[in-house]
């Protein structure tokens, strides 16, 4: 699914303050998008934040989208959140893993990154990550501390890549509990 986009047609269009929206163009959310959405009090408010950030529409317009369209958007966003972790010893590469990033991660003022290189997290990295109040902030801190990315770059990762990375990194925790 990474790289996939979805266009949802608004019929009738949503009109807010003279702006008429006929469609929402959605892409895969980033870790930062999901972190911002997870800070909302309800799932519906979180979906509105994702629509606002990803479709690039004003907040009031995102909150005015019909519930059926919001549900379709939410279902699309959920496709990027695979569940289940594999213990690291079951993966090729032992205590490290490389994930190709397609398209490469490109942030202004930083070198382009085409491969996410993960390594076993330290206890300090796990502790810093566990101090985060929101799950996607936890993800960004842990990936930033246990890879070739910094935390800013980790927040810009597509959620599907973040989940694969997190599953790998948390596999060490599960393996040590056995």
Are 116 and 162 found together in one domain? yes
Q: pLDDT of the chain along its 178 residues, tens only?
A: 456 899 999 988 999 888 899 999 999 999 999 888 888 877 788 899 999 999 999 999 998 988 888 889 988 988 887 554 343 444 333 478 899 998 999 999 999 999 999 988 876 788 788 888 788 899 999 999 999 999 999 999 999 899 999 988 888 765 544 4
Q: Which domain holds residue 43?
A: 6-78
Give residue 7's pLDDT: 96
**What's the residue count for the chain?**
178
CB 140 within 8 A of CB 34: no
Give residue 176's pLDDT: 46
| Distinct helix (H) and strand (E) counts, the chain | 8, 4
pTM of the model: 0.63
Give residue 119's pLDDT: 84
Are 95 and 167 found together in one domain? yes
List of residues 6+ apart from 93 with CB closer than 8 A: none
Are 18 and 50 found together in one domain? yes
Are 129 and 171 found together in one domain? yes
Number of domains in the chain: 2
pLDDT tens digits, one per residue of 6-48: 999 998 899 988 889 999 999 999 999 988 888 887 778 889 9
Give residue 3's pLDDT: 60
Residue 83 lies in a domain: no
Give residue 177's pLDDT: 47
CA distance 45 to 39: 9
Are 92 and 161 found together in one domain? yes
Are 99 and 71 found together in one domain? no
* 127 sits in which H/E element: helix 123-130
Are 26 and 67 found together in one domain? yes
Alpha-carbon torsion (107, 111, 115, 116), positive or negative: negative
CA distance 60 to 89: 48
Q: How far is CA 110 from CA 31, 42, 133, in A?
A: 18, 35, 27
Are 97 and 163 found together in one domain? yes
* 101 sits in which H/E element: strand 96-105
Are 36 and 100 found together in one domain? no
- Kindly report the backbone phi and psi dihedral angles of residue 175, in degrees, each rounded to the nearest multiple of 5, phi listed first: -65, -35
């Amino acid at each position: 699914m990474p790289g996939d986009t979805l266009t949802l047609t608004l019929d009738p269009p949503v009109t807010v303050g003279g702006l008429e929206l006929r469609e929402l163009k959605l892409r895969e959310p980033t870790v930062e998008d999901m972190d911002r959405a997870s800070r909302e009090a309800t799932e519906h408010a979180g979906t509105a934040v994702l629509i606002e950030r990803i479709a690039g529409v004003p907040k009031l317009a995102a909150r005015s989208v019909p519930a059926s369209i919001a549900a379709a958007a939410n279902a699309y966003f959920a496709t990027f959140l695979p569940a289940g972790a594999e213990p690291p010893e079951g993966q090729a590469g032992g205590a490290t893993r490389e994930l190709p990033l397609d398209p490469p991660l490109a942030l202004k003022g930083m070198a382009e990154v085409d491969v996410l290189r993960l390594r076993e997290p330290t206890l300090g990295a796990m502790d810093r990550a566990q101090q985060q109040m929101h799950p996607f902030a936890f993800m960004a801190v842990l990936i930033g501390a246990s890879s070739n990315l910094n935390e800013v770059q980790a927040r810009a990762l597509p959620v599907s890549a973040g989940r694969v990375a997190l599953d790998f990194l948390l596999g060490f925790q599960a393996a040590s509990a056995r």
